Amino acid sequence: MLYETFKFLHVLGAIILVGNVTVTAVWKVFADRTREATVVAFGQRLVTITDWSLTAAGIVLIIVGGYGAALTARMDLFGAKWLVWGQILFAVSGIIWAAILVPVQVRQARAARAFATGGEIPEAYRRDSRRWLVWGILATVPLVVAVWLMVYKPI
């Protein structure tokens, strides 16, 4: 029962995290493409809000649920390869998020506050949007591979 509870929290975290990072990319791209300063700034504000609520909640649930389930079942965290690679992929995604995506988002949020009530969207903002999308996709791929590994456990 305790094991299933941890696993439930873990899977819920994976749904929230992967769901949020993919959907955020879709509506941010569409908001940016309007080229309307107020819409772009609102989209950017939502990136900050959903990151600090949904992304953070997903990360916490994956960690608490994943390690809770593994420890409850007395699994060796460095035994089965699917579990080892799950942790590595999660860490790789987290490093990209913390080292590249968060700084870009902070820079974009600051820029967006300046044009939130209208005005020119600087070229640097658009460059950061492209960078954010590319690195966001690169950070999402390891998470999707982790879901696959955890479900199929081929190794």
Binding residues vs ligand HEM (CB under 6 A): 7, 10-11, 14, 17-18, 62-63, 66-67, 69-70, 75, 83, 86-87, 90, 143, 146-147, 150-151
Q: Which residue is nearest to ligand HEM (CB)?
A: 66
Closest of 2, 128, 140 to residue 70, by C-alpha: 2
- Kindly state the smallest distance separating residue 39's Cβ from ligand HEM, in Å: 30
Q: How big is the CA angle at 150 (ends 147 and 155), to the nearest 5 degrees? A: 125
- Kindly state the smallest distance separating residue 61's Cβ from ligand HEM, in Å: 10
- Kindly state the smallest distance separating residue 30's Cβ from ligand HEM, in Å: 25
Helix axis angle, 123-152 relative to 102-114, nearest 10°?
140
Write the DSSP string, 29-54. Answer: HHHHHH--HHHHHHHHHHHHHHIIII
Nearer to ligand HEM, 32 or 51 (CB): 51
